Each structure stands twice: as structure tokens, then as C-alpha cells.
Amino acid sequence: MLHIYRKSVSAAVFAAILGSVSLSGSAGMAQSETAEAESQVIWPELDALLESGSIAQAYAAMDYAPFFLAGDAGPARALLGGISQYESHGLPGRSDLVERLSAHIEGALDGAATAEGELAFADAYLEFANAKIAGILTPSRLSENIHVFPNRPEAGELLSGLMSSADPVSHIMGLAPDRDDYRAMQTVLTEMQELVAAGGWAEPGIASGSSIELGDSDARVPQIRARLISMGDLEPPIVAQQAASNALDEPLPGDDLVMDEVLEAALKAFQRRHGLNDDGVIGPRTLAALNTTAEERLRQILVNLERSRWTDWSTEERHIYVNLADFRMWVREGDTEIFTTRVVVGQNRHQTVEFSDVMNHMVINPTWTVPRSIATEEILPRLKANPNYLNENNMILIDDGTGVFTPSDTSQINWDLFSANFFPWWIRQGPGPNNALGHVKFMFPNQFAIYLHDTPSRSLFARDARAFSHGCVRVADPQGLARVLLAPQTEDPDAFFAARRATGRETRVNLEQNVPVHLDYRTVWVDEAGQVQYRDDVYGRDRLVFNALQAEGVTLGLQS
């Protein structure tokens, strides 16, 4: 929070200044036309108080006249209203600040405005604007795997933008990510707060047991049915039965303990909303999602509202968006989805980092230089068990500069002599069908050595939880992604790709149109159909963010 040193000013002097200031006009500032009038609006004490810096420059542009408390104190009242609604954005309530600022407004309206009051509002506005625009946390301090840097405007820029606005009140009230998805999340927050205050969803704590599928009879089915009804995924039985009865002219037969087709359809809808394979089977992952409490979901909503403020990217241009928690990627242009596919991300001990960069090329038939940790922790033990492992997997040794002799036949090496502390080579795998990067990798050079790539291991894409890599992002449909990226620069991207792949040689292809890439971590959002989507906190980052929000004063916002 930015604090400005305050110095008391004669109320009479300030009132005289206040009376000569108007917020009318396109700049919303006091302007003077003569030297005599100018001398009436300059506030010498404020001039001395703010000798230098961007805040001083903002006030200098309006001759150090009051802004927030001028006239009817419209900007001050708008700011007070915005601060009083902090909790609707998942921000910490500031009743103490509201009380202090209210007293300054009352004084100004009674003709007793003070310098303390004006600068208290300047201070509060900077805190307010930063919180609404970029959130209240510094995400990169939470984890080395959150390399996200919200765009925080400079203090003088914030104040100057407000003071030069034609409509300062609307400017203040409009401070927040101007996106439909953010506003939808605010609505979800309010609804979930009301639900939690009312006791949450019905039938908590459904017992574990064997899987349940269509036609099975199980004592837990009534609980599951009630849970889905309370979550909105299943119509109440009276409504559903009446609709069916009207259509068939007779009531539906049924057994409360049996998983019927109606319940199965509702369960599939629930599974889709939670990123689960929609097989209609109640297994361990589906049961865990069903048993997640409304209060836990409320915490996730608060966390993801904060994330929305961190990542207010421009989405007008073509870009790649990867949601690590959803195990899925998209290519979008504006609001139009051009391409989407499943992905595999880093396992928990090799988490994929959240960051943004720019993709500028792809490599067809890539070689793979094995990371040192994989070479020593995974491949070296295999070499000790099978000295011919490198030959069998199209791998070679490359001297790392130590000058250790490297025989042409690596199976003749006594691998028991080497360890993680003494391994004087790099391992490189040549192009081919069994290359760990598959037939293509998509490069956005970055400090984490993370990229998107093909893989010969296809079975993992069928799973609903897909955190299995060493940190890079494996793409289920790499040729589809290549097609989209190459389309702006070649008439037949499939033929272009196939011709280079057929050579078997490593080939770099520069992109004529660079593409921003955003690796994000979003566990709650509202989709295009208005459905609230929830995902597991696969890396535990929701917990980190929520704990930090709590430390800043964020609460669940429940009405007592």
C-alpha cells in the first residue's frame, strides 16, 4: 500500500480553494484564466508536501487543487462506494477504511475539508485501483512455479488517468477486468456465498465403495441423486416425473436404489463440468468431486477471481492458451476457438510452470537432448541393467567437455563406474517414431526449457487426470496444431508438414506469424454456455493462493 505523508491545512484556506474548484469540463480539473484566479486555486501547503514524484506531478497538472473532495465530492463518494463493495470481487472488506473516509466526506460537504482528507482519498484510490486491476498478491512470491507478473500501472499514471477523465465517477466504478468471464465469476461468487451460508449442497459425505454404473443397485444411489439435484445437474424427481408423465400419459416406474438412465445422464453432465471422463460411472474420482463441499468450492472461486486479475491478457490477436489444471489447450483468435486438444502436463514433482511467452518456430523430426536429471536418475539405472539401452533407443553420447573417452559402441562401457555425481556426457536421441518428442515440437524459447510437443506415448491422453510429463506439455493432436500454425504461411499446411516429416531429418520451420502462449492454471471458470466448470487443484496451488489471500484479510464473505 502506498502511504502519503499528511500535513494539516487550515480549513478556511482549504475551503476557499474548494469553493473555487469545479469538476465540470473534459478534464475534470480546476483551470484558471488569470494570474489572480490561479493564485486562488494553488494550495501552497500541498505544493510543499509533494515536492517531487509522479503523484506530485499529477496534482501539479491541476495546480495542486483538491480533486476527490472538490464540489460535491463526487469522486470521493464513488471511491467510497467501490471500496464498500470490495467483497463482491473477493477482496478483503475494509470497513475501517470506509469509516475513516466517510468522516472526510462529511467534513468536506460541511465546508470543512482537510488536506488529510484529500490525500487519504488519493492513497485509498491507489490501493483500490491496484487491487481491482492487478489483484492484491504478488504471484511470483508464492511459488517458483508461478512466473506471473500482473500489469500494475505506476501511481502517477493511475492518478493522472483519473484526474483527466471526462467522467471520474464512471472511471472509478469501472476499474476491474472488463470481461464477461470476470463478471460471471462475480455472480458465481455471490451465489456460492449464499449457498454456503444456507448450509451447502444436500447429502454430504457419500461413502466410498465399489463403482456404480447404469443398472447397478446401490444404497448410495439416493444420496447421489439428491446431491446432483442440489448441485443443479439433475431435475427434482417431481418435475422430471411430471414431464415424463405428460409425454407418456403414465408415471415412470423406477427403483430409488438403481442407477437409471436419467441419473446416468445427469452424472455425465456433472463429470463434464468437473473435467472427468463422461463415462457415467461413479468411480473414485467422480465420487471425490461429488463429495467436495460448497465451502471448498467457494475458496476456489475466490482464488480464481484473484487469478483473473493477474492475467488480464489481450485476447484480440491469435494466441495459444493452455490450462494446466484442465489438461487442455486452445488456439483462439479473439473470442473464436480455432483449435483445441487434450494435453499432458508435468507430474507433481516436475510441475509445469505458469508463464507467458511467444512461439516463433516449430521443429519437425526433432532430436531430443535428454535433461541431465533424466539422464542420471532414469536412464543411467537402465543402462546398468541393460548396457545396450542407448543403441536400442536411437541414443548417442555427447562429450560434455570433460574429455572423457567415448567409445563408438556404448554397450561396452562399464556403467557401474558412473553416478549422478559423475556422468560426463549428454545423451541425445535421434529423430524417429520412438523419439520422446514425437514428430514435432513447438518452440517458445524460455528460461524453463518448456515447450509443446508430440509424443509416442498416446495412451495417457485417454485419462481424465493427465499430469505425467517432466514439465513440458505433450499435445494429443500435434498435426492439428501444426496445421493451424502453418495455415497463414502456406496454402496446404498438411502437405507442407508431411513433406518435411518424410525426409526424416530435423527441420526447423520459422513461423511468419508469432503466437503468444499463455500457460495458465485455472480451476474455476464459467464457460461459453454459462456452466460453472471446476477442476482439481492438481498442483496444490489453490491452497497457496488462498492462504495468501487470507493473510491479506480475504474471508469467505458469509453473512452472519
Contact 280, 268 (CB under 8 A): yes
What is the Cα–Cα distance from 482 to 484, expressed in whole angstroms? Answer: 5
What residues contact residue 354 under an 8 Å CB cut-off, 6+ apart? 139, 145, 146, 147, 148, 324, 519, 520, 521
Catalytic residue among 89, 274, 439, 472: 472
CB of 308 closer than 8 Å to CB of 139 = no
| Torsion angle (degrees, nearest 10) of CA 300, 93, 23, 103 | 180
* Nearest in space to 324 (alpha carbons), one of 485, 151, 143: 143
The Cα–Cα gap between 445 and 439 comes to: 19
Q: Give pairs for 77-81: CB < 8 Å, separation 24+.
A: 77/105, 77/169, 78/168, 78/169, 78/172, 78/173, 79/121, 79/124, 79/125, 79/128, 79/172, 80/105, 81/173
Of the candidates 89, 274, 453, 518, the residue annotated as catalytic is 453
Q: What whole-number distance in Å separates Cα of residue 549 and Cα of residue 309? A: 13
CA distance 145 to 324: 12
Q: Where does 44-109 have alpha helices with state H? A: 44-49, 54-60, 74-84, 95-109
Task: Give the DSSP letter string of 286-321.
Answer: HHHHHH--HHHHHHHHHHHHHHHHHT----SSEEEE
The one-character DSSP state at 531 is P
Query: What SS3 class is residue 368?
Result: strand
DSSP summary character for residue 383: H
Residues 15-33 as b/e (b if ≥16 CB within 10 A, e otherwise) read: bebbeebebeeeebbbeee
Q: In the numeric block, which cell numbers belong to residue 359?
A: 512461439
φ and ψ at residue 368, rounded to 5 degrees: -130, 115
Compute the distance between CA of residue 223 and CA of residue 227 in angstroms, rounded to an integer.
6
Cα 192 off chain centre by: 20
Let me know if 472 is a catalytic residue. Answer: yes
Phi, psi of 516, rounded to the nearest 5 degrees? -60, 140
147 catalytic, yes or no? no
Q: How many CA atoms lie within 13 A of 496 on its CB side?
A: 18
Tell me which residues are annotated as active site: 453, 472
